[in-house]
């Protein structure tokens, strides 16, 4: 896709109306609270959710390494990485696997692979489930399950990944937090309210944070269909809820069991 084509896509996005969130919406399936809408009932989604992972927390549970697992990189930095760009309904469900004919093809995103490997890496050695019942790359899972349901805003695989990267860079959460003094540390605890306020001031919308044992594990940003930020609902499970003071653990490379 050339620059003019890409810009025309974003002009289309800007013309799309923004939908509000219902109070009982729980995000995406990763939180274990939503039910997938049956295929025959799948309709156009209501809003986007960009899910970001904090490797410093997730990689602490790594006990096996492989070349595909970014937790095992010796030169990785402490920054949020992309989990996925998801599409959700306001009623507490979400569409999934909307077009079985749009199977993931890595050749279609060749120009983006350098950035994807750094900013959207897999943090596991396990292959992910795909819509045809098989197993594939982390990117294949995200495109087939979520990206294929992003029409009419996003129509193809390349645009899905390019759009996600652009949003990630535009709202650079790691940079926002560091500039406000929230630096990755294995000893410091930070006020949750301060982190939320820093992001609210920069993004002009309220994020949703998910924690594990008091450490930030995931951060979610919600967007209208024109990619204007909107508040995310505060509805994590008690197990995922963050305490008043949270940590942002430094990334420590895992080198055990590499193959």
Please check whether residue 194 is in contact with residue 209, taking contact to mean a CB–CB distance below 8 angstroms.
no
The question of whether 25 is a catalytic residue gets the answer no
3-state SS track over 99-151: CCCCCCCHHHHHHHHHHHHHHCCCCCCCCEECCCCCEECHHHHHHHHCHHHCC
Angle formed at CA 173 by CA 186 and CA 152, multiple of 5 degrees: 140
Q: How far apart are CA 4 and CA 125, in angstroms?
A: 38
Measuring CA to CA, how many Å separate 70 from each of 78, 116, 160?
A: 12, 11, 22
The question of whether 26 is a catalytic residue gets the answer no
Exactly one of 26, 142, 218, 240 is catalytic; name it: 142
The question of whether 83 is a catalytic residue gets the answer yes
Q: Is 251 left (phi over 0), alpha (psi -120 to 50) or beta?
A: beta
Exactly one of 144, 146, 157, 218 is catalytic; name it: 146
Exactly one of 83, 141, 144, 218 is catalytic; name it: 83
149 Cβ contact partners less than 8 Å away, ≥ 6 residues apart: 42, 45, 87, 94, 95, 96, 97, 98
Q: Annotated catalytic sites, by residue?
A: 83, 142, 146
């Amino acid at each position: 896709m050339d620059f003019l084509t890409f810009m025309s896509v974003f002009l289309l996005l800007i013309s799309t109306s923004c939908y509000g969130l219902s109070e009982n919406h729980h995000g995406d399936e990763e939180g274990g609270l939503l039910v997938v809408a049956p295929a025959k009932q799948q309709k156009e989604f209501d809003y986007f959710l960009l899910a970001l992972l904090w490797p410093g927390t997730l990689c602490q549970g790594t006990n096996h390494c492989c070349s595909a697992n970014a937790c095992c990189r010796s030169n990785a930095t402490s920054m949020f990485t992309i989990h996925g760009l998801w599409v959700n309904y306001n009623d507490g469900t979400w569409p999934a696997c909307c077009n079985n004919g749009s199977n993931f093809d890595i050749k279609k995103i060749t120009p983006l692979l350098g950035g994807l490997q750094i900013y959207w890496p897999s943090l596991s050695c396990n292959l992910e489930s795909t819509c045809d019942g098989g197993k594939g790359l982390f990117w294949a899972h995200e495109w087939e399950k979520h990206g294929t349901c992003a029409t009419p805003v996003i129509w193809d695989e390349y645009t899905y990944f390019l759009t996600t990267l652009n949003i990630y860079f535009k709202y650079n959460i790691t940079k926002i937090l560091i500039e406000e003094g929230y630096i990755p540390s294995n000893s410091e605890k930070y006020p949750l309210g301060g982190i939320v306020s820093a992001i609210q001031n920069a993004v002009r919308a309220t994020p949703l944070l998910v924690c594990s044992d008091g450490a930030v594990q995931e951060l979610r940003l919600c967007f209208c269909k024109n990619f204007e930020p909107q508040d995310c609902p505060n509805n994590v499970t008690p197990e995922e809820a963050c305490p008043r003071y949270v940590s942002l653990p430094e990334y420590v490379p895992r080198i055990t069991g590499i193959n």
